[in-house]
Copies of this chain bind each other. A is one copy, B any other.
């Protein structure tokens, strides 16, 4: 549906050409290569119009002819497709122990992918590590840096555009320094977007995961840390200060209010529900060998009643968080991710607790995307942005 926003500005005939080119590109992106006639049918535009628009798009290098399709009576149909080389997107993921990245063309095909372990404790070393990773990815894909039209970095913390700062970077020490932002900008240029890592994962979920066919959903990640990416009406919400989805700051100061300092830095809910908190709780309860959250869950699965109680308590906490999200925005779907979120049986435990708290029940599912989620989310965010820019540019320079 075409939407006219509130304070709309006047429209010229050119606008409708822009819209229609956008529409055709969208169809090509979504449904793959197609002949003119099919595009006409799908879009509802007439054949001459489709021909003209494709001509314009071809002149600006955004689509190209990839072949002929025959087999049916009549002349061979000319098949168009998006020109993947019209631009490239670099997606990066900076974590505490890993740096990951990938390069994709505008069609979304990944041209190179890499992941390196990092022992960096210094923030600038991490910045350099990312730059090196990018160089490696470019070389592997055989692409020059200039061809990258969009770079997206998935990072812990939130970027607040109003004050141009990264904040709440939590476990990544020094990452909220302005020097980091400056260093990243210097190395990756003005095409750099910074996205919260869990928000990026939510975007991946929207494109490749369970979020594909819903309007609004919440991706809730429970593991080393706790966070959420919120997609409403198909769009990721950042909030005014960029902290939308920072559910680690939900005010549940349950029992173990030990680390007040920790609570301020990473959120009180994080302090009571992250993997470390599970381990703490298990130890306090006397679960033997509770050295990691994984082992606690394993013990519970084996039938250890005390460990099971810890797991139940954790499920209750997560259910409370989800219930809060429901009470505020009422999403259609909740996707669980992260080490704890994906633990076997955890979904059921959460749903059970949630059904006792919440006035309505959304779908709740576990993600089936893997470790590369953040990178692919960055890439899909970058692709969207890149396409928008390209069509805008094409509309202005073309014709």
- Expressed in whole angstroms, the minimum distance between the Cβ of A313 and any Cβ of chain B is 14
Is the pair A330, B243 in contact by a Cβ cutoff of 8 Å?
yes
Is the pair B1, A326 in contact by a Cβ cutoff of 8 Å?
no
Q: How many residues of A contact B (CB 8 A)?
A: 67
Give Cα A360–Cα B249 distance, bound, in whole angstroms.
Answer: 10
- Expressed in whole angstroms, the minimum distance between the Cβ of A317 and any Cβ of chain B is 10
Is the pair A328, B244 in contact by a Cβ cutoff of 8 Å?
yes
Of A22, A251, A320, A326, chain B has the most CB atoms within 10 Å of the CB of A251
Which residue from B239, B320, B330 sits with its C-beta under 8 Å from A331? B239
- Expressed in whole angstroms, the minimum distance between the Cβ of A210 and any Cβ of chain B is 14
Which residue from B18, B19, B242, B329 sits with its C-beta under 8 Å from A244? B329
Is the pair A328, B329 in contact by a Cβ cutoff of 8 Å?
yes
- Expressed in whole angstroms, the minimum distance between the Cβ of A247 and any Cβ of chain B is 5
Q: Does A84 contact B (CB under 8 A)?
A: no
Q: Which of A292-336 contact B (CB under 8 A)?
A: 319-320, 323-332
Q: Which of A116-131 contact B (CB under 8 A)?
A: none
Which residues of B lie under 8 Å from residue A215 when comparing CB positions?
240
Q: Does A182 contact B (CB under 8 A)?
A: no
Which residue from B237, B267, B323 sits with its C-beta under 8 Å from A359? B267
Which residues of B lie under 8 Å from residue A244 when comparing CB positions?
328-330
Which residues of B lie under 8 Å from residue A239 when comparing CB positions?
216, 326, 329-331
Q: Does A371 contact B (CB under 8 A)?
A: no
Give Cα A11–Cα B24 distance, bound, in whole angstroms.
Answer: 11
Identical chains bound together, number: 2
Give Cα A334–Cα B45 distance, bound, in whole angstroms.
Answer: 46
Is the pair B15, A249 in contact by a Cβ cutoff of 8 Å?
no
Is the pair A327, B246 in contact by a Cβ cutoff of 8 Å?
yes
Residue of B nearest to A240 (CB): B332
Given known pairs A234-B6, A237-B232, the reply for A327 and B22 (CB within 8 Å) is no
Q: Does A245 contact B (CB under 8 A)?
A: yes
Which residues of B lie under 8 Å from residue A8 when comparing CB positions?
1-2, 19, 22-23, 26
Q: Is the interface of A mostly helix, strand, loop or mixed?
A: loop
Residue of B nearest to A42 (CB): B10
Q: Which of A237-271 contact B (CB under 8 A)?
A: 237-252, 267-269
Which residues of B lie under 8 Å from residue A359 when comparing CB positions?
168, 243, 246, 249, 267
Is the pair A13, B10 in contact by a Cβ cutoff of 8 Å?
no
Which residues of B lie under 8 Å from residue A9 when comparing CB positions?
1-2, 23, 43-44
Given known pairs A323-B250, A329-B237, A360-B243, the reply for A4 and B16 (CB within 8 Å) is no
Question: CB-CB contacts of A225-241 with B at 8 A, as 1s and 0s?
Answer: 00010101010011111
Is the pair B3, A5 in contact by a Cβ cutoff of 8 Å?
yes
Which residue from B4, B248, B327 sits with its C-beta under 8 Å from A2? B4
Q: Which of A1-55 contact B (CB under 8 A)?
A: 1-13, 15-16, 18-20, 22-23, 26, 43-45
Is the pair B10, A323 in contact by a Cβ cutoff of 8 Å?
no
Given known pairs A246-B359, A330-B243, A331-B239, the reply for A11 and B7 (CB within 8 Å) is no
Which residues of B lie under 8 Å from residue A12 when comparing CB positions?
16
Residue of B nearest to A332 (CB): B240
Q: Does A95 contact B (CB under 8 A)?
A: no
* Additional 20 contacts, C-beta under 8 A, given A11-B16, A267-B359: A1-B7, A1-B8, A2-B4, A2-B5, A4-B18, A4-B19, A4-B22, A9-B43, A216-B240, A238-B330, A240-B331, A240-B332, A240-B362, A242-B330, A246-B330, A249-B323, A249-B359, A251-B324, A268-B357, A324-B327
- Give 9 pairs: A residue, B residue, CB < 8 Å, sorted on A: A3-B4, A9-B23, A10-B23, A238-B330, A243-B326, A250-B323, A251-B252, A251-B320, A324-B327
